Amino acid sequence: MASIIELRLPLEQFALAHTFDVMPELHVGVERFAGQNEESTMSFVWVATGDFEAFEDALVADPSVSAFSSVADCDDECLYRIKWAEEAEAVARLVLTEDGEITAASTSGESWEFQIMCPDHSSLSKIYVCCEDYELSPTVDAIYDLGGNKGSVHGLTELQYTSLVTAKEMGYYNVPREITLTELADELEVSHQALSDRLRRAHGRLIDRALNANDRTRIESPSLEQ
């Protein structure tokens, strides 16, 4: 049965550590990975920043980036096509070796959050082991089996669930609101943009559950043991 793993890697273990050193308020979301094969990995990346010229200057000096180009812009976001340097490519290739696919990736500077789909649970386990063999430090947030009939009624990662509960308890969803998103982010010790993205994904997952639009089974205690 196809499975999904959601995990985090420290920023410096994948890409853009230098760029975030220069621009800590940046937010990056990978639209999709293209050319996913053993030779090359490119990404289409949405970037939110108030200074795209400074961002591009940072990319030029970033050792994790081999090449880049701007392909579209929309208000305060811009879509870039990025060719990763060898070390960043190697991380992506760890996924490809087990027939995995990176279906989502984003960062606001604290860590990279990945969603990876594999044909079965065994492949997920092998990817995790490969990460450790490569001296990476993955943190598993959740594991899902697609198409199951049992599991959590929430379908949320632990971080998403905790953020929603905290937001509810602190009055973020009250009318009028008793706490701003920035204050809530400070309480949870994450950036404003990271929390905004986390809540958006959590809301989307709850809507999918309510509408039965995405039938997933969440393994309540993420484990890679067989």
pTM: 0.67
> C-alpha angle with apex 142: 10 to 196, nearest 5 degrees?
65
Q: Which residue has the higher pLDDT, 156 or 164?
A: 164
Same domain for 121 and 33: yes
Q: What is the pLDDT of residue 211?
A: 61
pLDDT in tens, 144-162: 776 543 334 456 777 888 8
Residue 18: pLDDT band with limits 50, 70, 90: very high
What's the domain range around 75? 3-146
Higher pLDDT pick, 40 / 98:
98
Task: Mark which of 122, 146, 170 sits at the end of a domain.
Answer: 146
Domain count, the chain: 2
- pLDDT surpassing 50 at residue 218: no
pLDDT above 70 for 108: yes
